Amino acid sequence: GVATANSIAAWRYGCRKVNVAFAGLGERTGNTSLEQMLLSYIRLYGDPGFDLTILPQMRALVEESLTGVALNAPVIGEVFTTQAGIHQAGLERQAEAPGGLIYLAYDPALVGSEGAERHLVGALSGSEGIVAILNEEAEKRGVEQRFTSMSRVVKEIYDRVQEAYDGRYDEASDRWVDYREGFFKPDEIWQIAAESLGLDKE
């Protein structure tokens, strides 16, 4: 619904209090979301000292004892992760951008999500996401080599990924079969690179 928008409008027109609940949970259609209103308050009026880094722990507690939180939930969902190539490129380049953050409304560290997985490799991914994952995996394994979008192995991985999602056409059944449905995990991406370059797969 528009609970957050309505509550922000109420603030702007003089209302001093808003009733909220974490993740908007509540009977019937739910309530105004606590975490969305906290971020809105900071954006509108400045940060009075809220510690939003506790939000991931609050989400974990709710999921453990009550109900799951939607992956696409604003603020507390998996909102810092993308498989889209153009977004992955933007995320990698925004650090050098004059204005700082481009594709993110706020720094993930503000809400305790600085370690959130930012890139998934899927059918819509481009080379930038593959490069980011490869370099993270190389660093974890103590491998000095670093990759760029021009690296031969990145092109090989990109082609393998696309082939996996394409599957193959089965003439007998007149349909596409054997196509991948889930995302590639970082260690799978590393395995492909290690095979190609003769590196340690572990």
- Number of structural domains (the chain) is 2
Same domain, 158 and 88: yes
- In the structure encoding, which two tokens stand for residue 153, read together? 């192995």
> Do 75 and 36 touch, CB atoms closer than 8 A?
yes
Which carries the bigger pLDDT value, residue 115 or residue 6?
6
State the pLDDT confidence band at 33, using cuts at 50, 70 and 90: very high
| Nearest Cα residue to 188 out of 143, 121, 126, 140 | 121
For residue 117, is pLDDT > 60? no
Burial of residue 35 (CB within 10 Å: 0-12, 13-18, 19+) is: buried
Same domain, 37 and 102: no
For residue 115, is pLDDT > 70? no
Write out the DSSP string of 86-153.
HHHHHHHHGGGSTTS-SS-SS-GGGGT-TTS--B-BSTT--HHHHHHHHHHHHHHTT------TT-HH
Same domain, 35 and 120: no
Same domain, 24 and 117: no
pLDDT tens figures, 62-79: 999 988 888 888 888 877
Residue 116, domain extent: 80-202
What average pLDDT does range 31-41 have in this prediction? 92
What average pLDDT does range 82-96 have in this prediction? 67
What average pLDDT does range 16-40 have in this prediction? 89
Is 187 domain-assigned? yes
Is 72 domain-assigned? no
Is 56 domain-assigned? no
Per-residue pLDDT, 6: 94
What average pLDDT does range 36-56 have in this prediction? 91
Same domain, 19 and 108: no
For residue 8, is pLDDT > 70? yes
For residue 147, is pLDDT > 60? yes
Per-residue pLDDT, 159: 92
Of the listed ranges 22-26, 89-93, 136-140, 190-194, the least confidently predicted one is 89-93
Mean pLDDT score of the chain, rounded to an integer? 84
What average pLDDT does range 47-76 have in this prediction? 90
Distance between CA 33 and CA 73 in Å, rounded? 10
Same domain, 44 and 86: no
State the pLDDT confidence band at 10, using cuts at 50, 70 and 90: very high
Same domain, 150 and 192: yes
Same domain, 38 and 124: no
Is 7 domain-assigned? yes
Same domain, 190 and 93: yes
Same domain, 99 and 176: yes
SS3 content of the chain, % helix, strand, coil (to 5): 50, 5, 45
Is 31 domain-assigned? yes
Is 123 domain-assigned? yes
Answering whether pTM is above 0.75, one says no
Which carries the bigger pLDDT value, residue 108 or residue 51?
51
For residue 99, is pLDDT > 80? no
Is 58 domain-assigned? no
Is 69 domain-assigned? no
For residue 50, is pLDDT > 90? yes
For residue 116, is pLDDT > 60? no
* CA distance to 14, 135, 188, per residue, from 111 (Å): 27, 25, 29
Same domain, 106 and 21: no
Same domain, 115 and 202: yes
